[in-house]
Structure 1
Amino acid sequence: MSHYSLLHTRVATAAALLVVSTGAPVCAQAGSNWQPPGDIDGLWDFATATPLQRPADYAEQEYFTAEEANRFERDLIARRAEAQKRSPSVHAPYWLDHGRNVQESRRTSLVFDPPNGRIPPMTEDGRRRAQERRDKRQKVPDGPEDRSLWERCLMGFNAGPPMNPGAYNNNVLILVTPDTVALLNEMVHETRIVPLDDQPRLPEHLRQFKGDSRGYWDGETLVIETRNFEPRISFQGSGGNMRLVERFTRFDDATLIYEYTIDDPESFNRPWSARLEMKRSDQALFEYACHEGNYGLMNILEYARTNEKRASEPPAE
């Protein structure tokens, strides 16, 4: 069995187990002739050089020209190489896969609404919460629980929701059944399982890191609406009461359009939307083991305890 087929089987098994556990009909009994309204199954790569927000140099420009796109890509690659020289990363540059090309549409930003391609200003409450998060990150940790979920490899870096490109492993495997869709992100091996039937939502007081998602078909477009986020999880400054709407639409044989809209009046002064052009991938989806065995975090803590011990010892004669 190929690596792709094995992962596909694992995701299907996870989806089936969830359906059984919730008492919904087992999707495997729907018959092998069932076809989803929209063809979005498969492995999709969402790496891109297109920035989330429109650069100031293109403030009044929704699209690059072909020449501008080529220049933007060259300059971006050069800046990344120079940054690596000034501050070497823990990752070798050849491990990284930010994306070397802008989207085929040549949009100057992933954000398309507001029309200026920028995330709207934050509310006063949103700015306060953002400052609290910054202050917490600056705090000297007493133990592993004080480090971020990302550093501890408990959650993904680009998996969201919403999904947004990162430095590498920008891959998602999508599997659709009659009453469930499963989205397996390579980083950090997270599978989000979304009911497509009429299952009731969780009570408002039950919050989850990835929120409470429900999906439905709008013609050939899969729509997923997510609420009830854990307040400590934030995307670009969002809060726990964010309402997230994601849309997956097959554009052509090689392209899946992924759009998301963030509606969070407690954090932003208006809703905003972004669009990603995901590309079908024929690559293998590998296990993402993060820093295997958490040696990185363990070494940090051991070093801190050693320093504390040395500080408590009397100076040498």
Structure 2
Amino acid sequence: MALTGSLDAAAQAKAAKAEAYKAPRTAFGQPDLSGYWTNNTMTPMTRRPGVSSLVYTEDEVKKMEAEAEAEVEEGNAPTDPNAGAEAAKPAASSLRPEFAAAGGDVGGYNRGWLDPGHTVMRVRGEPRSSLITTPNGQIPPRKKGAPPPPGFGRGLGSFDSYETRSLGERCIIGFGRNGGPPMFPNGFYNNNYQFIQTPDHFVIEVEMNHDLRIVRLNAKHRTDDVRPYFGDSIGWWEGDTLVVETTHIPQSQGFMGSWKDLKVTERFTRVGPQRVHYAFTIDDPTVWDAPWGGEYEFAPLNGRIFEYACHEGNYALPGILAGARAEEQAAAEAAAAKAAEAAKSKAKDKKAGD
């Protein structure tokens, strides 16, 4: 992975301090990664248009984080209950692009329901413009003939069955890529985790939809083609770094259209009392010419993870499918009526001819 930008003296000092840090050990001798962590941040997965460097200046950070604070204050301000829908809708300019639609549209979330993060992600002290560390901060070009990446809202426009709708909409796994692999904040909320360690397993509890990723330590990948949710993850320790390798990822959880030959390698390293460094590498020779990836750092969650409950009392999915069935029935009745009218007209013409 190519990293751009250079460390200033302060960042170099922080990096040296991180390298010197020795993670505490568990009772069974492993570097201790356990606890509650969060990766929420206003830094996006890919670099925003017009941003050329991987590393922001401190002045840029100060401006962006101040704007995020103002956005929170504006979003949490009382709404006039007598104002019309459009008057109550926040100005598009006051919302970040990634959730302007969901948070701003009528029927969407008010700002108070969103917790996307209001600080820039720092890695070894550097304020980052993207979580991906390719030279331009974008997904690399795909090989000719590689499957295209799926569009936003997988399952939208399909009304044949609940099984054709998205896994997130069906509350099977969370939306976005909180669970991964690779793991990313979703830009909205619930970007929190609990890491649990045993001598032979590493478990990642994902707040979004209380998903669990279970990593088998010092094991081998399965040899069949069964593809469980989140793939088949095995792990091992390289010094103080936990290396997790995942294959057998199901098509429904593919990353940017890659799944069948996708291998994701993740590295978790405790680099300070308050930081866990996370790096990931994407490898699929059928889609990209070379492996690529990125990095960020988890910070402590001020609290713990509670039960995730979202769909209770939610009639959207049965309403969507029932509406489609009603439209189909109406179309069938209209077709039957048209056929009956045609038959009646034909009989009438025949009688007149006789």
TM range (shorter): 0.7 to 0.9
The answer to whether the 8 A contact 2:34-2:196 is kept is: yes
* 2:101–2:108 CA contact under 8 A, matched in 1: no
> Residues 7-18 of structure 1 correspond to what in structure 2 (within 5 A)?
none
3-state DSSP of counterpart to 1:297? helix
Match of 2:325, SS state, is helix
Residue number in structure 2 paired with 1:256: 276
- Compared CA separation, residues 36 and 304, structure 1 to 2 (3 A): farther
Distance 1:85 1:174 in 2: 30
Larger radius of gyration: 2
Aligned to 2:250: 230
Q: Aligned to 1:212, which of 212, 232, 248?
A: 232
* Corresponding residue number in structure 2 for 1:179: 200
Stretches (4+) displaced over 6 A = 133-136
Alignment correspondent of 2:309: 289
Distance 1:83 1:306, change over 3 A: closer
**2:71 pairs with 1:79:** no
Task: Answer yes or no: is 1:52 the counterpart of 2:45.
Answer: yes
Residue of structure 2 in register with 1:26 after alignment: none
Task: From 294, 298, 313, give the equivalent of 1:274.
Answer: 294
Q: Is the 8 A contact 1:257 1:278 kept in 2?
A: yes
How far, CA to CA, are the matches of 2:258 and 2:107 in structure 1? 28
For residues 230 and 51 of structure 2, the distance between their equivalents in structure 1, rounded to whole angstroms, comes to: 34
Q: Residue 65 of structure 1 corresponds to which residue in structure 2?
A: 57
Describe the superposition over 1:204-228 as per-residue Cα deviations: whole angstroms up to 9, x where unpaired.
4222231111001111111100111
Q: Which has the higher contact order (CA 8 A, sep 6+)?
A: 1
Distance 2:271 2:224 in 1: 35
SS in 2 for 1:290: coil
Question: Residue 117 of structure 2 corresponds to which residue in structure 1?
Answer: 99
Query: Following TM superposition, by how much is the alpha carbon of 1:67 offset from its aligned partner in structure 2, in angstroms?
Result: 1.0
Offset of residue 163 of structure 1: 1.0
2:149 aligned with 1:130: yes
> CA RMSD of the aligned region, Å?
2.6
SS of the equivalent of 2:64 reads helix
1-structure distance, mates of 2:229, 2:207: 17
The alpha-carbon deviation at position 47 of structure 1 amounts to: 0.4
- Match of 1:71, SS? helix
> In the alignment, is the contact (CA less than 8 A) between 2:47 and 2:129 conserved in 1?
yes
Is the contact made by 1:159 and 1:188 (CA closer than 8 Å) also made in structure 2? no
Does the Cα contact within 8 Å between 2:275 and 2:300 map onto a contact in 1? yes
Q: 1:266 to 1:302 in 2, by over 3 A?
A: same
Q: Relative to structure 1, is the Cα distance of residues 188 and 85 closer, same or farther in structure 2, using a 3 angstrom cutoff? A: closer
The alignment covers a number of residue pairs equal to 279
Q: Does 1:153 align with 2:174?
A: no
- What amino acid is the match of 2:193? V
Q: Deviations over 1:84-106 (max 9, x none)?
A: 67524533321111111111320
| Residue number in structure 1 paired with 2:222 | 202
The farther-off stretch of 44-53 and 69-78 is: 69-78
Please tell me whether the aligned partners of residues 37 and 219 of structure 1 are also in contact (alpha carbons under 8 angstroms): no
Relative to structure 1, the CA distance from residue 145 to residue 85 in structure 2 (aligned partners, 3 Å threshold; closer, same or farther) is: closer
SS at match of 2:50: helix
| Equivalent residue number for residue 33 of structure 2 | 40
Residue 164 (1) aligns with residue 156 (2): no
Structure 2's unaligned 5+ residue stretches are 1-24, 72-93, 338-354
Cα distance per residue 1:192-242 (max 9 Å; x no partner):
111113x33211422223111100111111110011112332123322211
Aligned partners of 2:201 and 2:214 also within 8 Å:
yes
Q: Which amino acid aligns with 2:35?
A: G
**Contact 1:84-1:93 within 8 A present in 2 as well:** no
What is the TM-score with the length of structure 2 in the denominator? 0.71
Aligned AA for 1:58?
V
| C-alpha spacing 1:231/1:303, structure 2 compared with 1 (3 Å) | closer
- 1:3 is matched with which residue? none
Distance 1:83 1:146, change over 3 A: closer
1:242 to 262, 272, 282: 262
SS of 1:298 mapped into structure 2: helix
Q: 1:33 to 1:312 in 2, by over 3 A?
A: closer
**Structure 1: runs of 5 or more not aligned:** 1-31
Contact 2:131 2:295 in 1 (8 A): yes
SS of 2:60's equivalent in the other structure is helix
Q: What is the match of residue 160 of structure 2?
A: 142
Change (3 A) 1:250 1:57: same
* Identity rate, percent: 37
